[in-house]
Chain A
Amino acid sequence: MPKQWKKENLLKAYRTMREIREFEERLHIEFATGEIPGFVHLYAGEEACATGVCLHLDDNDKIASTHRGHGHCIAKGVDIHAMMAEIYGKKTGTCGGKGGSMHIADLDKGMMGANGIVGAGPPLICGAGLAAKYKGTGGVGVAFFGDGASNQGTVYEAMNLSMAWDLPCFFVIENNGYAETTSPKYTVPGVENLADRAKGVGMPGITVDGFDFFAVHKAAGEMIERARNGGGPSLLEVKFTRYYGHFEGDAMAYRSKDEVKKIRATVDCLLQFRNKVVSAEMLTSTELDAIDQDVKALVDDSVVKAKAAPKPPLSDLITDVYVSY
């Protein structure tokens, strides 16, 4: 697989995944100190999805994210310093400290927001697809949502609507095996692949291994191109797991102690990527290590700056309610 890749693209893919991993693992540590307010849901383990999908997008394309949104933000090019500051509730954050982890957004980057309401993104992305089609921008709308969210009526309605209106949309189910503590084995019994939900609305649907960056990237690329060229919407189910709790502070009584340990040691997306590109002699370990170091320094710096950044002034409390004030 890596043989057909340009080196710079491989470097970019690795760097993006590493940025997400480093960002999330650092947040895990920082959250434990008690300095980070509110709910924080980490994306670690799922990097290949956001990265594999968003590498096909530019700022003209829109994504709708979830409560687990940091990875989507980073993959869509949102500034890491502004993200970290937002999570710390600072004035310099992407949303001026008004949104926090669950509401990070950067509309200029086509990142329409992390979301506190499960299943709220897909209808919004139909709107993004509609606007792109109506204005002829050539853009696509991509909705990320979880296995749990796929049980929300809004998701089905949105998928069907996108078919009815033939919208340039792409739906991505991030099936990490849990909705909080509950497995899809209980909520969607008898269905092996959630991609089968596509059949109900007559769109193509496939399932890929979410630890395999190249598999995600290839499948997403075909579906996004299809949408971009007027071929209509489709559904991709990406299967993997999350490395941390549902949110920080979750003791994870619903999974065995070594589930994550095993996965990290065997199929982890960064590990697999590294092995593949090194054995294909496309990149060297030294090059990859250099990215690791660089990203670590970047995330370090973002934490230092976020901690030191000013809090929003009290006058900000009553601004931005409407466009006029």
Chain B
Amino acid sequence: MARKISYSQAINEALALEMERDDSVIVMGEDVCGGRGTDQPLDAWGGVLGVTKGLYAKFGDRIMDTPISESGYIGAAIGAATCGLRPVAELMFIDFMGVCLDQIANQAAKFRYMFGGKAKTPVVIRTTIGGGFRAAAQHSQCWYPVFTHIPGIKVVVPSSPYDAKGLLTTAIRDNDPVIFCEHKALYALQGEVPEDSYTIPFKQANIVRAGKDVTIVALGLMVHRASEAAALLAEDGIETEIIDPRTTSPLDTETILSSVEKTGRLVVVDEASGRCGMAADISAMVAQKAFYALKTQIEMVTPPFTPVPFSPVLEDAYLPDASKIATAVRAVLEQKKIPAAS
């Protein structure tokens, strides 16, 4: 039975169902329960944004709070994964990944290959991404391209409650390390989600909207910005097709390529930096593999090449939005440069 729940609840539900199903699944992170060592009842927070709230009541000490030691506990989650557990470690903000990058990029990512196929590292690192909260330069980034760059790690960027639940279930059951990137601005988003457990395969893009004129590829929150743009453009009779890859690694190149073969035009939208990011990666892939199908230039809609600013006026100008996406779509249709102002 499907009913409407939030993206945040969908994630909570996937965690609960997998913990019920499999004893080896444990959850760890800073204040994922909360209140430990105080004289007050536990589950004081359930994670800084409340996503794991209520899990302590069901699973007790399988919900483990950690010291502020990302290198230590992310490393421990990875080590435990190689020793038969299936830890889901929460890293409060992807921006903190710098503290524990070695454990992920040099340890988890490489065990399988370095050890000649002998190791299995079924760890999930849940983390939050994205701007719009006036959280400034160190709490607003979209670093999934960093992990997409590294062979041996899988990277998930869900854009809806349905996808969040299904993809997290897949991530927990997957035998490789997965970085699961939750957009902070999507937590409150409501959507239809089945009560029972289900999986969504990795490397299977979602065609969010079908259209014949221009293909828009977008991830996470940007899927919603692209949908707003599509609605604006539809008023002018422009039919866009929106593809949400859902996983950046592995990437469903086939769905993107077949859409571009149909439309002949591509706009890639990403909240991450345009340099060495998903927009550049997908653009290059299409330019290489479907050059013959392209009728016009490819456009990328990404933030300017700057850190995320604090001041609301600046952050609003920084983030891609529907109007910037619509401008790019029109530019592609008209084979014109995007006007300087946008």
Q: Which residues of A contact B (CB under 8 A)?
A: 37-39, 89-90, 95, 97-100, 102-103, 115-119, 148-149, 151-154, 178-188, 253-256, 311-312, 314, 316-318, 321
Contact = CB atoms under 8 A, between A and B. Distances in A.
Nearest to B98: A117
A311 B314 CA distance: 9
Contacts of B133: 38
A183 B45 contact: no
Residue with the highest number of chain A CB atoms closer than 10 Å, among B99, B139, B311, B314:
B311
B317 A99 contact: no
Contacts of B314: 89, 97-98, 312, 314, 316-317
Interface string B58-92: 00000001111111100000000000000000000
Contacts of B307: 321
B37 A187 contact: yes
A276 B96 CA distance: 44
A254 B38 contact: yes
A148 B68 CA distance: 6
30 contacts: A38-B134, A38-B136, A39-B135, A89-B310, A95-B310, A97-B309, A97-B311, A98-B136, A98-B137, A98-B309, A98-B314, A99-B310, A100-B134, A102-B136, A102-B139, A117-B95, A119-B68, A151-B72, A152-B69, A153-B71, A154-B99, A181-B35, A182-B30, A253-B45, A254-B38, A254-B40, A314-B313, A316-B309, A317-B304, A318-B304
A182 B34 contact: yes
Interface residues of B, number: 44
B218 to A, nearest CB: 22
Contacts of B36: 181-183, 186-187
Interface string B14-54: 00000000000000001100111111110011001000000
Interface of B: 30-31, 34-41, 44-45, 48, 65-72, 95-96, 98-99, 133-139, 304-307, 309-314, 317-318
Contacts of A39: 135, 139
A253 B67 CA distance: 19
Which residue, of B65, B72, B133, has the highest number of chain A Cβ atoms within 10 A? Answer: B65
